[in-house]
Amino acid sequence: MKNKLIVSTSTAFCGLIAANVCWAGVTLPSNVRDVADMLQYSAQEQQKKAFATAETKAGVEKIEQEIAALENTDVEVEVYNNTLRQQLHSLRKQLANANFEHNRKENRLQEIQQRKTDIESKNYELNKIVEVYGEGRKGYFAYQDIIYNDGIYEGLVHKEELLSSELNDLDTTIVALNQTIDALILKMNNENIAEDPALEEADKEARLEVLKHDLEYVQNLLKEYERGYDIADRKSSSFGTESKYYSWRDDKGNKGHQFYQPFYYNIVAGPWEYGLATGFISSDNRSNDNGKVNCLTDTTLNVAFHKKAKKNDVMVFSLAVNLPTGKDALHEFDPVMDEDLVEKARFGEGLNFTPAIWYYYNRDDKNTFIFGTYYTLGGRYDLTPSMWVEPGNAWVKEMRWQHLNKKFQFLAGLSHTSYERTRENTLEYTSGHQFKPELTFNYAPDNTQFFTAYYWHTQEDPLRYATFDRMNETRRGRNYGLQWSKDIPDNRRIRLLVDWLNSSGENYDPLTNISTNQRRKTTFGIGFDQYFKERSEKLSLDIETFRMKDGAVTGTSSDNNYRGFNVYLSYLKYM
């Protein structure tokens, strides 16, 4: 199943952009599976944020309780001024310092003894060299090393003796301090003076200062969670490529295949996004009119600017430029195949510009409403060596509702496209309005799997104001299907898909010279994903098989049945 929707997701907010061009910062889904993955990923990120927010709130409350307890503690001054307690505190501090110093010197002594052992081992080996080479050059240098090492060794012996003496003195001090502390505790017990574990005022103030600093940090962190992602802090890039192979044949002896290799690169720098998309295609149509083409596709350059609106809302201004690097002029229509059989029905257009504006209304952490419009200014190009085209400009208006929850998510959308007049040599026509309601729904019973159900509808009105007799009917197309995705061990995932395409009404496309009527298509697919580096890289393999049936179009007497298979290998890396 293929659909001409392009979806954009952003880590700054939960949303998507749909267009008929490649947008900056956008992956290019070939079908509904990418929309389902986007919804599931966004829901998981939302759950992580909600958990982090709750944990941070709990941390704020805990720190505030500790501060209140310290500030309200009524500690009697005489407790801290008691001479015996002050003495006990001072003696214990001296003992702790003495023990610390003893441990430090003991560790130093062990290091010195280890260095002595190392030098003895080195000199042993060097003496062997002297015995073998005598006064020769090698023996001479070995002897000089022995003299040098002996000097170091003597210094270490001196330090060892000094440290041993200091350790003996510390041992004596520690024994004396322990005896004094024991005697003082005995005296306090005899006089019924209990040891009070209350903090001294200086310790309490220091603890309060630390807690207030921690509270400020956690409160700022909580504000960031509640405020949402800061667009200015965004910094990332991504690269993706796919290898797509399509093969088909019908019951009239026609067949064809196509290989398509797109490449995508994207950079995110604060509020700005930049994107590049191009590809290579090899298309072989072995039908009544055989035709073959090997060429680059058009190249799309994109730039987008994100601006924070009120509260957590976001506005996106973007511009896409289609560069005519593909093969626009064909040898008549021979290489052209139907877009429900292969990826590309056309191999290039003219210089196009598409400005767009989007508004993301984040009602709460679960619901986002998206409103957008974009306008494509089409440039003239050669459709065949003998036919030029001035495509009519296209204006798309769109609104979408995205809902995210732990167990289920959905994306509902509605778009309308209107066209201006297209000219082809002496012919003129205006493409019919397009009306597209869409719904994609995910259900995740646990964290390892989710189910997807979807219904995407397209209503396309007949050609208008045509200067030729071949008119088409209102066409209604329906894509609906089911998918199951399941995580398996070793950071892998398996996917199963079934998709149905059902369209009514006879349709004629002047740009491809292809007519369709009452189309029915069923596709079964299986996919496998391998993730790397905490899911920042993904390698995917998909295999599909399909059956398709077309009703008889005007001028023909029978239906046509198709069958075929598709293979996709894709790689995506986030940097």
Which of 376, 467, 482, 389 shows the shortest CA–CA distance to 428?
467
Report pLDDT for 27: 25
Percent of the chain at pLDDT > 90 equals 25
Q: Out of 184-193, 297-306, 388-397, which region has the weakest mean confidence (pLDDT)? A: 184-193
Buried b (16+ CB within 10 A) or exposed e, 17-56: bbbebbbbbbbbbbbbbbbbbbbbbbbeebeeeeeebeeb
Report pLDDT for 209: 80
CA distances from 355 to 3, 68, 275, 361, 548 (A): 22, 56, 14, 20, 37
Cβ atoms of 548 and 563 closer than 8 Å: yes
In this prediction, residue 322 has a pLDDT band, given cuts at 50, 70 and 90, of: very high
Cβ atoms of 303 and 319 closer than 8 Å: yes
For the chain, give the mean pLDDT.
Answer: 80
Residue 296: burial class (beta carbons within 10 Å; 0-12, 13-18, 19+): middle
In this prediction, residue 305 has a pLDDT band, given cuts at 50, 70 and 90, of: very high
More confident residue, 89 or 202: 89
CA distances from 399 to 23, 395, 475 (A): 17, 14, 22
Report pLDDT for 6: 27
Structural Rg of the chain based on CA atoms: 38
pLDDT over 50 (residue 569): yes
Cβ atoms of 452 and 483 closer than 8 Å: yes
Report pLDDT for 468: 63
Alpha-carbon distance 478 to 481, whole Å?
10
In this prediction, residue 21 has a pLDDT band, given cuts at 50, 70 and 90, of: very low
Residue 372's contacts (CB-CB under 8 Å, 6 or more residues apart) are 17, 18, 316, 356, 357, 358, 359, 397, 398, 399
Report pLDDT for 377: 93
Both tokens of 421, joined, read: 């007049």
What does the pLDDT look like over 32-49, one tens digit per residue?
A: 777 888 888 888 777 777
For 473-500, what is the mean pLDDT?
A: 88
What order do you get walking across the sheet with 387-390 strand by strand?
381-384, 387-390, 421-424, 427-430
Cβ atoms of 566 and 245 closer than 8 Å: yes
Residue 413: burial class (beta carbons within 10 Å; 0-12, 13-18, 19+): buried
Report pLDDT for 273: 93
pLDDT over 90 (residue 302): yes
Query: From the CB of residue 183, how many other CB atoms can be counted at a distance below 10 Å?
Result: 11
More confident residue, 544 or 55: 544
Both tokens of 148, joined, read: 């040098």
pLDDT over 80 (residue 447): yes
Report pLDDT for 417: 92
Report pLDDT for 13: 31
In this prediction, residue 333 has a pLDDT band, given cuts at 50, 70 and 90, of: low
Report pLDDT for 10: 35
In this prediction, residue 371 has a pLDDT band, given cuts at 50, 70 and 90, of: very high
3-class DSSP state of 486: strand
Both tokens of 43, joined, read: 């829901």
Query: From the CB of residue 4, how many other CB atoms can be counted at a distance below 10 Å?
Result: 11
What does the pLDDT look like over 231-272, one tens digit per residue?
A: 777 888 889 999 999 999 988 888 989 999 999 999 999 899
* Domain covering 32-55+222-574, topology: Porin (2.40.160)
Rounded to an integer, what is the distance from CA 448 to the centroid of its chain?
18
Alpha-carbon distance 204 to 211, whole Å?
10
For 68-97, what is the mean pLDDT?
A: 68
pLDDT over 80 (residue 423): yes
pLDDT over 90 (residue 135): no
Which of 210, 200, 174, 189 shows the shortest CA–CA distance to 79?
200
Residue 142's contacts (CB-CB under 8 Å, 6 or more residues apart) are 126, 127, 129, 130, 133
More confident residue, 241 or 199: 241
pLDDT over 60 (residue 61): yes
In this prediction, residue 7 has a pLDDT band, given cuts at 50, 70 and 90, of: very low
**AA letter at 548:** M
More confident residue, 228 or 152: 152
What does the pLDDT look like over 448-483, one tens digit per residue?
A: 899 999 999 888 888 776 666 655 667 788 888 999
pLDDT over 50 (residue 524): yes
Alpha-carbon distance 465 to 386, whole Å?
23
Report pLDDT for 259: 92
Alpha-carbon distance 530 to 491, whole Å?
6
CA distances from 460 to 22, 324, 418, 463, 520 (A): 22, 27, 10, 9, 17
More confident residue, 336 or 319: 319
Q: Is 555 left (phi over 0), alpha (psi -120 to 50) or beta?
A: left
Alpha-carbon distance 441 to 405, whole Å?
11
Report pLDDT for 512: 66
Report pLDDT for 228: 63
More confident residue, 67 or 498: 498
In this prediction, residue 18 has a pLDDT band, given cuts at 50, 70 and 90, of: very low
